[in-house]
């Protein structure tokens, strides 16, 4: 994959999956624009001093003005990859409206606003790639039992992806998403110490799929929710 001189926004780029995506893109020659909110994640982000990484502090990506400012500073945007989000494990009876709205805000609203800003930037040169991140429960609804607010917010991301792919294909913009199962991260290992880690997809493997969908080499794939489940 050749991303030489191409500018890519990676939201959630300082997280576990995001770091792997940024490293993959940098190895292919990209210039990555990475918004950040959490100081602790920024300190762990190994590419923070890379000359082809532009770090942008943002208060939230569920605010239109903040998103507009982020994308307005990116020259000739080629791809936009939307990884930022959040997870909450709770049954419906134990989920207050505030917690539901938080999941929708973190997972769906951020994705929707970034998609809109990316499309506005990409239509100027009639080309681009957008990659969103859904989740296994977004496609397999029964798997969302005990985390319905999260599953519903990610299902909205999946629906947005397919609808937007149809909407902007005429503009040379290909929109896709990946739907991971539980990924092999430090946080997930800590949360599930007795799980079979070997069956979980590695963040580098998921990053490779994302990078391909965002690359110029992807010339025809759109409206796809690529399942990246590993052996789980």
Least confident span in 116-125, 193-202, 215-224: 193-202
Within 10 angstroms of residue 4's Cβ, the number of other Cβ atoms is 10
What pLDDT is stored for residue 66 in this prediction? 97
Residue range 7-228, CATH number: 3.40.50.720
What pLDDT is stored for residue 29 in this prediction? 98
What pLDDT is stored for residue 183 in this prediction? 86
Active-site residue flag, 150: yes
Q: How far apart are CA 5 and CA 52, in angstroms?
A: 10
What pLDDT is stored for residue 166 in this prediction? 98
Q: How far apart are CA 123 and CA 171, in angstroms?
A: 6
Q: What is the radius of gyration, based on Cα positions, of the chain?
A: 17
Q: What is the mean pLDDT of residues 165-172?
A: 98
pLDDT at 84 over 90: yes
Distances (CA, A) of 168 to 46, 123, 176, 203, 216: 35, 9, 12, 29, 16
Letter string b/e over residues 97-111, b meaning 16 or more CB atoms within 10 A of that residue's CB: eeebebbbbbbbbbb
Predicted TM-score (pTM) of the model is 0.96
Catalytic entry in 150, 197, 212, 229: 150
What pLDDT is stored for residue 114 in this prediction? 98
Q: What is the mean pLDDT of residues 136-162?
A: 98
What pLDDT is stored for residue 185 in this prediction? 87
Q: What is the mean pLDDT of residues 17-35?
A: 98
């Amino acid at each position: 994959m050749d991303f030489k001189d191409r500018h890519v926004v990676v939201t959630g780029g300082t997280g576990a999956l995001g770091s792997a995506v940024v490293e993959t893109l940098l190895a292919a020659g990209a210039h990555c624009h990475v918004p950040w909110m959490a100081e602790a994640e920024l300190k762990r982000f190994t590419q923070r001093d890379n000359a082809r990484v532009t770090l942008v502090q943002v208060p939230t990506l569920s605010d239109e003005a903040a998103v507009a400012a982020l994308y307005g500073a990116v020259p000739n945007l080629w791809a936009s990859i939307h990884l930022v989000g959040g997870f909450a494990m709770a049954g419906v009876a134990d989920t207050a409206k505030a917690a539901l709205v938080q999941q929708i805000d973190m997972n769906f609203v951020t994705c929707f606003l970034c998609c809109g800003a990316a499309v506005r930037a990409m239509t100027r040169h009639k080309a681009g790639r957008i990659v969103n991140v859904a989740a296994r429960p977004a496609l397999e609804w029964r798997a969302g039992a005990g985390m319905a607010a999260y599953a519903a917010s990610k299902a909205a991301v999946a629906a947005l992806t397919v609808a937007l792919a149809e909407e902007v294909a005429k503009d040379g913009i290909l929109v896709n998403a990946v739907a991971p199962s539980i990924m092999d991260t430090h946080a997930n290992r800590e949360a599930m110490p007795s799980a079979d880690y070997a069956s979980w997809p590695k963040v580098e493997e998921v990053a490779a799929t994302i990078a391909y969908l965002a690359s110029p080499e992807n010339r025809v794939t759109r409206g796809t929710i690529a399942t990246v489940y590993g052996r789980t």
